[in-house]
Structure 1
């Protein structure tokens, strides 16, 4: 392979760049209650980062009426949409994305969100002009912790696994990246602890995008340039 292979960074968006983890938690909690499921918020929070199909299997019993799963997914999406106008980037998220692009890295928004939700997230971030590629839920046959979205992100950016890093906020991000031998930098801003992220295999852990940006020169990202 040529020595000048491109390098890049894949960013999870929900909970990593935009402060949405707890909004998703509350939206799922309300959706479950509407359909008669009493699931504690703490359990829901631990599952955020999974795709909705895997989240339902993880949180609900096998004896549930699976024909009602789509009602739950639709209810969650409808409830979460009420927050779109109030979404905010996490500290220095926009600056971090722009710093990666300025450093010569190909930037991918490796999101598993549905297109309407992804449009709201992109509007909040305002970095489309420096993004090389973007993924959505339509690009994955299986959701995280399956590696499909990571594979699509690599392909669209023309990146080899050893020339890319994934930045995410959940253990499911770390697990998905590891399945393709992509190193994952963990951020605790989604509410998952440093110990949990490191235990799942994160190669480095920072508090939030601002913390990673401040340490950029000493972080694994600097080794890609």
Structure 2
């Protein structure tokens, strides 16, 4: 099957922002008198904010909004991984449609210029990842079938819905010693997706 579209997660996949996210959550929790260790927050970065917060507080929306405020105030420290923009531009040249599906609020996403065709935020759906709703929305916006789509993420929460929809799931590692039973393939950096597409197309033509 020819690859016609790619869906990317945002935080930790395209944007090197995980440490800033963790600091923002810790500060938000502390403001409400709750001390949540980093090792509990880290695995949940990428979950819908309310889902993360409600594991530790009774007012999850308030804490999430404060976390977003901390994040926005320090957003200049967050940068795209080095090969992200060139890779997205190359995909456009190749005629492959692209989308970002993220648990981040739209007010944050709007602070970045991302050269993709479509963006689906947590504000655009009733259920966030790992539900399939945001991925189905992006796939429909791109006008493709799930099996024609690659999903790239940095945690299992990104890959589980991809597997459910029979998309090709790809774990991007960014130098971390990680793996996932839900990943069809693993890549080190975002730019490696270009070689993977070529590999898949060669195998398809055999």
- Return the TM-score normalized by structure 1: 0.81
Taking only aligned residues, the RMSD between alpha carbons, in angstroms, comes to: 2.5
Structure 1 equivalent of residue 126 of structure 2:
141
Task: Work out the CA distance in 2 between the residues paired with 1:190 and 1:217.
Answer: 21
SS in structure 1 of the partner of residue 50 of structure 2: helix
Query: Structure 1 residues 89, 29: closer, same or farther in 2, change over 3 A?
Result: same
Deviation at 1:112, TM superposition (A): 2.9
> Does residue 21 of the first structure (1) align with residue 15 of the second (2)?
no
More helix by percentage: 1
Cα 1:31/1:206, change in 2 over 3 Å = same
Deviation digits for residues 79-137 of structure 1 (CA, Å, limit 9, x no counterpart): 001122232110200111112222221111223321210012x32x4x2xxx3222122
Deviation at 1:53, TM superposition (A): 2.1
Task: Output aligned runs, 1:100-139, within 5 Å.
Answer: 100-120=91-111, 122-123=112-113, 125=114, 127=115, 131-139=116-124
8 Å CA contact 1:166–1:184 kept in 2: the answer is yes
Query: SS of 2:7's equivalent?
Result: strand
SS of the equivalent of 1:108 reads strand
- Count of matched residue pairs: 205
Measured in 2, the distance between the counterparts of 1:23 and 1:72 equals: 16
- The answer to whether the 8 Å contact 1:31/1:75 transfers is yes
**1:139, 1:152 within 8 Å by CA — same for their partners in 2?**
no
Instruction: Name the structure 2 match of 1:178.
Output: 163
Among 60, 68, 71, which residue is 1:77 paired with?
68
Residue 55 (structure 1) aligned with residue 52 (structure 2): yes
Find the counterpart in structure 2 of residue 151 from structure 1.
Answer: 136
Check whether the contact 1:166–1:185 (CA below 8 A) recurs between aligned residues.
yes
Q: Would you say the 8 A contact 1:165–1:221 is kept in 2?
A: no
Q: Distance in 2 between matches of 1:209 and 1:146?
A: 24
Question: What residue number does 1:42 align with?
Answer: 39
Gap regions ≥5 residues in structure 1: none
Q: Give the Cα separation in 2 of the matches to 1:224 and 1:157.
A: 22
Under a length normalisation based on structure 2, what TM-score does the superposition of the two structures give?
Answer: 0.88
Q: Residue 152 of structure 1 aligns to a residue in which SS?
A: helix
Runs of 5+ unmatched residues, structure 2: none
Moved over 6 A (4+): 221-225
2:152 pairs with one of 154, 158, 167: 167
What CA distance in whole angstroms lies between the structure 2 residues aligned with 1:83 and 1:190?
24
